Structure 1
Amino acid sequence: MILFNEMGLSAEIQSAIEDLGFVQPTPVQEKVVPFLMESKQDLVALAQTGTGKTAAFGLPIIQQLDTRKKSVQSLILSPTRELAIQIAGDLQNFSKNLDFINIAVVYGGADIVKQMKEIERGAQIVVGTPGRTLDLIKRGKLKVNEIRWVVLDEADEMLSMGFKDDLDAILETSPAEKQTLLFSATMPQEIVQISKKYMKNIFEIAVGKKNTGTENVEHHYYVVHAKDRYIALKRVADINPNIYGIIFCRTRMETKEVADKLIEDGYNADALHGDLSQSQRDFVMARFRSKHLQMLVATDVAARGLDVNDLSHVINYNLPDDPEVYIHRSGRTGRAGKKGISVTLIHLREKGKLKQVERTVNQPFIKKMVPSGKEICEKQLFSLIDKVENIEVNNEQIGEFMPVIYKKLAWLDREELIKHFVSVEFNRFLTYYENAQDINVDESHHNEHEFSGRGEKNERGDRGNRRDRGRRKDRGSRDGREGFNSKPEKGGKGNYEFSRF
């Protein structure tokens, strides 16, 4: 393995990345950084999100900037404002020990005049979304005549979001002698076309195989009836007390409904969808990143730009139609060398479509059984015991209350005290799951041809079986709820705290 100190990076840059905790390069950094330090060839790099791409292209660009010039030398395009802001922040961290390096970030929905001034102050690197970047170029405020590098980060996402015309215009106006660096998690035909049209003498680097999922992710699926999909989701969450993940839904309405159910059932959850204003979106994403939210329910479009490295789970509430969408979703977990789990809830007639996704991902999908009530209760009980065992006790704070506590509980022996403690947390929970039904679909009793008709009909009919949850009157109350909570799927007055970060 080539180490960072063997890549020709300056002492200032090495010191900055050491402060950030960089120990050894990720696979994409190990391949890309030395290449960009030595070559002017165009580059197509196939790598999942969360693999360290920003450092892979950012470190060599910072190293080779001409800080004597105050013109734009590098243009970095990303699909969303959140990702653009994150990239710019990372580059600022990488260059914090260097003088005279200025970085501007530009995106829609923000003050364009302020962004113009940032560029005019001598930004050598501009990070932006395609639409706002092209707008500034057309206004003559972003001059591209001295650009040496154009980076297309998450190029497949930009194309899927409809930015092809903007990308065409930007690439056509930039200097022919520039070095173009294209990073993508998948390689659809549109990416191939762009590379052929605008890139030359291409060098290809792949971390993993084309259009496949990351090896750090296990792929699980559960077969349930459509009417039981939410119950299955809740049981998957309950069997994983420390779950921290994104739940992907098809529509805004479904996103809201699932999030509301989770909140009603005591989880710290919220929805991310297109109806949110930018300030509401920023607030939700900030709470999720800080782990004040346990689960985020989102559409694919709304979740773009949300970059979190330590998700334990990605849950597909519905199986996506496009296998590449599944690759992007599952690639949000299993990052930075950590293991992750991608869960998909399907009904029996989707087995064929699941096999197609499995072939594309080129990794085995493991069928799992929806856990029983007994399994869930056992897992949650032991999770609680572990937390009690490992909790750090502040004797100074609790000491003054102990005489009263001893007096109140003196009549209980050790065994009775434990029973009371467990009962406080789990009476209603245990009562509910005592009679919980098995919702796994017995595939042996179903003929595959039974499900070859109009698949949506059954799902529409199932909607009538959902319980009436009413409307939540105060959505703002979520913010005051700290820790992760859950309560039984039905009934019960209390919230039972299962896990806390």
Structure 2
Amino acid sequence: MTTFASLGVSKDFHQALKENKIIAPTDIQVKSIPTLLNQETDFIGLAQTGTGKTAAFGLPILQNIDPTKNEIQALILSPTRELVQQINKQLFRFTKYAPTKIFSEELYGGVKIDIQIANLKRPTHFIVATPGRLVDLIERGCLDLTKIKTIVLDEADEMLSMGFKQDLNRILNYTNGTRKTWLFSATMPEEIQKIIATYMSPDAVKVTVDVDTLINKNITHEYAVVNGKEKYNALVSFLENNPEGRGIVFCRTRAGVQNLTEYLLEDEFSVAGIEGEMGQRDRDKAMRAFKNGSKQLLIATDVAARGIDVKDLAFVIHYQLPEQLEYYTHRSGRTARAGKKGVSMALVTATELGRLREIESDLEFKAKQVYL
């Protein structure tokens, strides 16, 4: 059996991994960790959210840092504040038993930049950041990235789809030199290929997580066919039949999230909504309420839901089918975590049924029709 020890992960991290219930390495970790630990190489990892990427790049970064040097040695870029916080928190947990303390800073918008400038004067070994805020700090001369050995582009396709192309180019140009670039992405659109061609070695190691491992076998996929006017009633019916369950309801648009949250609140459901245009304070408040269990349901867009990692979700509901195939996997992967079972329910009109069939075919699963 493959273990983290057999992949080359130092004993300094074994106890912390166990305490975080990370026992057996996932496919992406098995394929990535030995290369990232032992080879001075650029690296491309094709893998979806929820496959264990943070540990796949995070453990090699932590193990390769020299804590005796007070300099920024690694930079991890991620698209949203929530993902930055999640990555930093997870890596901090991994260092619980490390013999020498490893210091990090997380940088993102929505926080006064002066506070972050002050924090960067403390010892810092690695940074986790959103591209926009990082560029702001670079332009103010508050960051010395000349000593970084590794830059990680996490959720690279999402960073581009959120409009960070220019910022990424500036950061990659600024850090150009002897650094290694590790790129992780769920998809490989043309813009990602341009970044690879421009900033990465043609000899970069590339690994892909097999699509079969992306559809969690513990998820039951279901769908109900409803006409447009009945969709809300079908959702209410599903929720009433699962009164104890916690879950996320996905909409494609911000307006969809706002309207659905309003309707469900009027019908006295325990619900919070998050979407990209919300103020950061309101967004944090909604996420806290959902994570601590004081709200039972979260209504979200695909982009806003990036970085959400809530345990014991009984279901996800596709109130509107996603535009992109990989979003279906991202959505469904929020439930049935850590060996538990969960339901992925799609509410579709007759005209949307063809799209659901395409998703089934491409991801090689079969959803069961139910009647609400």
Count the aligned residue pairs. Answer: 370
Q: Deviation per CA, 1:302-343, whole angstroms, max 9, x where unpaired?
A: 323322243222211112333233333223333334333222
Structure 2 equivalent of residue 261 of structure 1? 263
Distance in 2 between residues matched to 1:42 and 1:310, nearest whole Å: 36
Structure 2 equivalent of residue 64 of structure 1? 64
Q: TM-score, normalised by structure 1?
A: 0.69
Distance in 1 between residues matched to 2:327 and 2:91, nearest whole Å: 28
Describe how 1:21-420 pairs up with structure 2 within 5 A: 21-98=21-98, 99-200=100-201, 201-209=203-211, 213-274=215-276, 276-370=278-372
CA contact 1:186–1:210 (8 Å) conserved in 2:
no
Residue identity in the other structure for 2:264: L
Distance in 2 between residues matched to 1:354 and 1:20, nearest whole Å: 36
Distance in 1 between residues matched to 2:340 and 2:197, nearest whole Å: 35
Deviation at 1:211, TM superposition (A): 11
Identify unmatched segments of 5+ residues in structure 1: 371-501
CA RMSD of aligned residues (A): 2.2
Q: Deviation per CA, 1:142-179, whole angstroms, max 9, x where unpaired?
A: 22211111111111211111111111111122133222
Distance in 1 between residues matched to 2:176 and 2:148, nearest whole Å: 7
Describe how 1:451-466 pairs up with structure 2 within 5 A: none
Structure 2 equivalent of residue 12 of structure 1? 12
**For 1:75, what is the secondary structure of its paired residue?**
strand
Bigger mean CA deviation after superposition, 19-28 or 135-144: 19-28
**For 2:303, what is the secondary structure of its paired residue?**
helix
Distance in 2 between residues matched to 1:137 and 1:160, nearest whole Å: 22
Deviation at 1:214, TM superposition (A): 4.4
Distance in 2 between residues matched to 1:161 and 1:335, nearest whole Å: 27
**For 2:211, what is the secondary structure of its paired residue?**
coil
Distance in 2 between residues matched to 1:72 and 1:44, nearest whole Å: 23
Residue identity in the other structure for 2:168: L
Distance in 2 between residues matched to 1:210 and 1:147, nearest whole Å: 36
Deviation at 1:130, TM superposition (A): 0.5
Distance 1:336 1:198, change over 3 A: farther
CA contact 1:147–1:175 (8 Å) conserved in 2:
no
Deviation at 1:129, TM superposition (A): 0.2
Identify unmatched segments of 5+ residues in structure 2: none
Deviation at 1:285, TM superposition (A): 0.2
CA contact 2:211–2:363 (8 Å) conserved in 1:
no
Residue identity in the other structure for 2:104: I
Residue identity in the other structure for 2:242: N
Deviation at 1:212, TM superposition (A): 6.2
Residue identity in the other structure for 2:136: D
Deviation at 1:76, TM superposition (A): 0.2
Larger Rg: 1
Distance 1:173 1:274, change over 3 A: closer
CA contact 2:51–2:214 (8 Å) conserved in 1:
no
Q: Percent identity?
A: 44
**For 1:301, what is the secondary structure of its paired residue?**
coil
Q: Deviation per CA, 1:203-238, whole angstroms, max 9, x where unpaired?
A: 122222299644543332211110100111112222
Residue identity in the other structure for 2:302: D
Distance 1:312 1:189, change over 3 A: farther
Distance in 2 between residues matched to 1:303 and 1:293, nearest whole Å: 16
Distance 1:50 1:73, change over 3 A: same
Describe how 1:487-498 pairs up with structure 2 within 5 A: none
Distance in 2 between residues matched to 1:243 and 1:211, nearest whole Å: 26
Distance in 1 between residues matched to 2:26 and 2:214, nearest whole Å: 18
Distance 1:137 1:210, change over 3 A: farther
Q: TM-score, normalised by structure 2?
A: 0.92
Distance in 2 between residues matched to 1:271 and 1:309, nearest whole Å: 18
Deviation at 1:187, TM superposition (A): 2.7
Deviation at 1:71, TM superposition (A): 1.3
Q: Larger helix proportion, structure 1 or 2?
A: 1
Distance in 1 between residues matched to 2:11 and 2:228, nearest whole Å: 58
Distance in 2 between residues matched to 1:195 and 1:365, nearest whole Å: 36
Deviation at 1:72, TM superposition (A): 0.9
Distance in 2 between residues matched to 1:202 and 1:10, nearest whole Å: 25
**For 1:133, what is the secondary structure of its paired residue?**
helix
Distance in 2 between residues matched to 1:367 and 1:272, nearest whole Å: 29
Deviation at 1:346, TM superposition (A): 1.2
Structure 2 equivalent of residue 491 of structure 1? none
CA contact 1:208–1:214 (8 Å) conserved in 2:
no
Distance in 1 between residues matched to 2:334 and 2:168, nearest whole Å: 25
Q: Which has the higher contact order (CA 8 A, sep 6+)?
A: 2
